[in-house]
Structure 1
Amino acid sequence: MKYRLKRLSEQVIVITGATSGIGLTTARKAAQRGARLVLVARNEDALKQLNFELTKKGSEVLHVVADVGIEEDVRRVARSAVERFGGFDTWINNAGISIFGRNEDISLEDQRRLFQTNFWGVVYGSLAAVEHMKEQGGAIINLGSEVSDRAVPLQGMYSASKHAVKGFTDSLRLELEADNLPISVTLIKPAAIDTMFVEHAKNYMEVEPKLPAPIYAPEVAADAILHAAENSKRDIFVGGAAKFVSATAHYAPGLMDSVMKRFMFKQQQTSIPARDRTQNSLYNPGSDLQQRQGYSGHVFESSLYTKASYHPKTIATVLAAGLVIAAWWRLRETAPSREEPDRAYLPEDGQQEMPGASYASY
């Protein structure tokens, strides 16, 4: 079902996880296009700095310190948006975190915490948005992942949370459509994105984790999110690699299992000894105001497949080419390659085109 959504310049947009990665990139792009923003994150200092940055450029911004895993915090975000702007038109559930390690090694406390943010944060945000949008309509945009369709080893609970986000998002969309409510519900499924995803994740492995290529820029994901804010879309794959993974998992699950077992363990591990396990953002906010971590290899700054998906009539033309390219980049990772540099030498925000998270930041 299609709904008429406002132009970004006419919208009030709520963004969770707004101080890092995809959320930060989306906030800056939305501000450039004239949207009024409600920025949500746990890091108060980073929120204040971002508020100042965008306000100085002429944007109308409200920031709210909140943990999306706490229902009352999320409801307070909605109330604050209504009090400041009279309401909101788009709610983007972007906040997320990951854990690297085998399922049996990860504490149940950490697994529950991940789910509290990645899944319950989406539930709380979506239901708060529905409550407000029933009359005037709007868009709910949830950040899933390519692992919403295909689980990967060493990120088992993250994969499970993104599967859960997909199930909730799809069921919510059906219920709203059955009631003829003018609310668009979109699931965004990014491939690996160069954000602070690895930096923020908790790591149980003996070496530092990494994301498997191909890697896309956070701007590709942000553009997809903002497209969904103006155009009702069921789901959007960010990067041809994400579509390739989803399609292969659906049509050849056994083959995908074999590929995952052979390559995906190595592709998520470096040879760099693991840092102190307490250095993560699972329970407390970490370093923020960076869009990208600074992946040492090639980063795709655009995606032909994703752009084509905005226009269904042209997608068949580029689908085959996009899937071939994605497959080639996946297999390319199996060849020997130099390790990523130690994080101490990663570029800081501002040294290159802005930084952000992968396999989602989602």
Structure 2
Amino acid sequence: MKPTLKPLDQQTLVITGASSGIGLATAQEAARRGARVVLASRNEAALKDIVTQIEAAGGQALAVAADVGKRADMERVAAAAIERFGGFDTWVNNAGIGIWGWSDQISDEDARRLFDTNYWGVVNGSLVAAQHLKRAGGAIINIGSVESDRAMPLHSAYSASKHAVKAFTDSLRMELEHDGAPIVVTLVKPGAIGTPFTEHARNYTGREAKLPPPVYSPQDVALAILDAACKPHRDMFVGSSAKTMSSLGQRAPRMFDRVSEKFMFDAQLAEQPPAHPMGSLHESTLAGRVEGHHPHTRVRRSLSNQARLHPGRAASIVLAAGAAVAALAVRWRYSGWAGMRRA
């Protein structure tokens, strides 16, 4: 059966990891566009506040405190969505956590907790969602990463979990398509996104974690997710740097190794000690914010993402980007010439 995806304002979306970052941005935007949203997270207090805000703005939302690493909790989320809204049309497996550290520093307990969330959370959510969507159809959207394609130093556990998410998602898609299930399975692979991810991560390094530029807005990922809820996509990169890194990692892996070894350690570590070295790995904290604290880089919108989602605006976006590059070139030329004259 060919999958048919409804317009967003006719959908109910289940979103895990909805108390902050990408999940919260997606829930807010979906509710603003008329969708009903079911928000799942370990942080019940934060979820209730978010639901209150969405309902105050005229939206419909339901909070369900749950741990994605437990299949029974995901079944409880699905049951709550069915009881409140009669079912769901899209399930977004977004919950995720990071660890910054050398591979031999990371404890087995922390690595397993990360996999419970990043990998088993996707497996549990996907299988529960598929069980219900096989009847009425819909979308399963899994949030991977550019690190689903290309591992990064200091991220061994995180990169491994995102590789596993990609493999599971690809296998699940083939199985559902073979069986004729009316379900679209999409993997979203963002680059560096300006959420509270670095603050939530478990940090072994003794230095504050930071994201290497370019860093994109969480809203870009939310818009990609909502596009996948309405239109079939197999894979979606968010941020041109993500696609570039994936391509280079596949075509020139040793060169990418060398570049990463030279630049990606200092690019991911600030000089000051981490404010929250334990992060939210074992206990949900710092929830309720879409954007994180990124003093070392500017968070910007992805032009490639806007061009893909709005093809009619692509020409104007390209022109704007060209104008920006030209302006920078003029400024550099002037400042360079002025510097030469001063010298």
Normalising by structure 2, what TM-score?
Answer: 0.89
Which secondary structure does the structure 1 equivalent of 2:104 belong to?
Answer: helix
1:6-45 to structure 2, matched below 5 A, reads 6-45=6-45
Residues 314 and 54 of structure 1: is their aligned pair in 2 closer, same or farther, counting only changes over 3 Å?
closer
CA distance in 1, matches of 2:307, 2:172: 26
Q: Which residue of 2 aligns with 1:148?
A: 148
SS in 2 for 1:40: strand
Residue 179 of structure 2 corresponds to residue 179 of structure 1 = yes
> What is the rounded CA distance, in whole Å, between the counterparts of 1:273 and 1:61 in structure 2?
38
| Structure of greater relative contact order (alpha carbons < 8 Å, 6+ residues apart) | 1
Q: For 1:104-127, what per-residue CA distance to the aligned partner results, in whole angstroms no more than 9, with x for missing partners? A: 001011000000000000000000
Q: How does 1:189-268 map to 2 (within 5 A)?
A: 189-268=189-268
SS of the aligned residue for 1:219 comes to helix
Q: Distance in 1 between matches of 2:312 and 2:164?
A: 31
Q: CA–CA distance in 2 between the matches of 1:313 and 1:22?
A: 26
Superposition deviation, residue 57 in structure 1 = 1.5
Alpha-carbon distance between aligned partners in 2 of 1:2 and 1:236, rounded to the nearest angstrom: 20
Query: Equivalent residue for 1:292?
Result: 291
2:2 and 2:180 in contact (8 A); partners too: no
Q: Between Structure 1 and Structure 2, which shows a larger proportion of helix residues?
A: 2
1:241-260 Cα deviation digits (max 9, x unpaired): 00000010111111111111
Is the contact between residue 26 and residue 226 of structure 1 (CA under 8 Å) also seen in structure 2? yes
Q: Indicate whether 1:106 and 2:106 are aligned.
A: yes
Deviations, residues 287-329 of structure 1 (Å, cap 9, x unaligned): 11111113232222x32322344489999x97xx99xx9xxxx
Are the counterparts in 2 of residues 2 and 232 from structure 1 also a CA contact under 8 Å? Answer: no
Name the structure 1 match of 2:334: none
Distance 1:104 1:309 in 2: 41
Q: Could you say what secondary structure the match of 1:103 adopts?
A: coil
Contact in 2 for aligned 1:91/1:140 (Cα 8 Å): yes
Scaled by the length of structure 1, the TM-score of the pair is 0.84
Structure 1 unmatched runs, 5+: 326-362
Q: State the Cα deviation string for residues 25-48 of structure 1 (Å, max 9, x = none).
A: 001000000000101011111111
For the residue of structure 1 that corresponds to 2:136, the secondary structure is: coil
Letter in 2 for 1:231: K
Please say if residues 2 and 184 of structure 1, whose CA atoms lie closer than 8 Å, have aligned partners that are also in contact: no
CA contact (8 A) 2:210 2:294 kept: no
Question: 1:307: which partner in 2?
Answer: 306
Contact between 2:141 and 2:228, CA under 8 Å: does it hold in 1?
A: yes
Aligned counterparts of 2:156 and 2:311: Cα–Cα separation in 1: 33
Aligned pair count?
319
Change beyond 3 A, Cα 1:220–1:2:
farther
* Distance in 2 between residues matched to 1:183 and 1:161, nearest whole Å: 24
Percent of paired sites with the same residue: 53
Q: Are the counterparts in 1 of residues 38 and 62 from structure 2 also a CA contact under 8 Å?
A: yes
Paired with 1:2 and 1:136, the residues of 2 have a C-alpha distance of 11
Describe the superposition over 1:118-147 as per-residue Cα deviations: whole angstroms up to 9, x where unpaired.
000000000000000011100000000000
Deviates more, 1:179-188 or 1:291-300: 291-300
Q: Distance in 2 between matches of 1:276 and 1:60?
A: 34
CA contact 2:201–2:277 (8 Å) conserved in 1: no
Instruction: Provide the C-alpha distance between the structure 2 equivalents of 1:100 and 1:179, rounded to a whole number of angstroms.
Output: 40
Shift of 1:274: 3.1
- For residue 271 of structure 1, give the secondary structure of its aligned residue in structure 2: coil
8 Å CA contact 2:13–2:38 kept in 1: the answer is yes
**Backbone CA RMSD of aligned residues:** 2.1
